[in-house]
Amino acid sequence: MAEPLLEFIDVRSGYGEAVVLDGVSLQLPANGTLALLGRNGVGKTTLLLTAMGFVTVSRGAIRLAGEDISKLAPHKRSHSGLGWVPQERDIFPSLSVEENLTVAARPGRWDVEAIYGVFPRLKERRTNMGNQLSGGEQQMLAIARTLMTNPKLLLLDEPFEGLAPIIIEELTLAVRKMTEDEGIAMILVEQHAPVALALTTNAIIIERGRIAHSAPSAELLQDHDALDRYLGLKLGEG
């Protein structure tokens, strides 16, 4: 059996004395895609922050491609192959689109031309400053800039939040190209469960800091009882 790309082994983490995740174990295969679902405040973002090293692991271990990264600093985890796109986007407002892309680039499959192939809108805006972009364009740039580091695994924290439907459609198309055509591994935290499930192979639902349910994404999308019970989603009614 192939070694997992990312593995959480009985992980407990939190902020100071406050435990947020407790006993979390998961495996993501190479090229795997995982939707991370749950109501607000259950620990979804904390799981990504724990993977990146911004939240301390007090028990258990995190492995990336077989290497224990539990004690590594965030920048070292980035160099090991984790690519994080935070909700805040954190693009450089006074740099152009192309400068944003190249400022932290590392050699690999993803260069400027490859990025423009997936995000044609960024090619059109390549000379615009970061602060001249719409919210949706800034989100595209945040994802694209992280891709330029050529990560093994992309961690996306609610990339569709607050975006117009037409931009969500454009962004989901880009994410699908990245994962299905280019084989990028991804963990996606997203409030819009149907969107997240359509873009991933597998899904887990977190409740009170623990994994309450896991299933193939296509199967969970049809499991209206589970979606209602854990997420309060009423699908298939009317």
**Tokens found for residue 6:** 């990312």
d(CA 190, CA 213): 16
pTM of model > 0.85: yes
Quote the percentage of the chain above a pLDDT of 70: 98
- Cβ atoms within 10 Å of 173's Cβ, excluding its own: 12
pLDDT by residue (tens digit) across 152-190?
999 999 999 989 899 999 999 999 999 999 999 999 999
* CA 152 – CA 130 distance, rounded (Å): 26
Domains of the chain: which residue ranges?
Answer: 6-231
Per-residue pLDDT tens digits for 48-57: 999 999 999 9
Q: Which of 71, 70, 140 is nearest to 100 (CA)?
A: 140
**Fold category of 6-231 in CATH:** Rossmann fold (3.40.50)
Which residues are CB-neighbours of 7 under 8 A, at least 6 positions away?
26, 27, 28, 61, 62, 63, 64
pLDDT, residue 238, reads 36
Cβ neighbours, 10 Å, residue 192: 15
What is the reported pLDDT for 115?
96
Please determine, for residue 99, whether its predicted confidence score (pLDDT) is greater than 90: yes
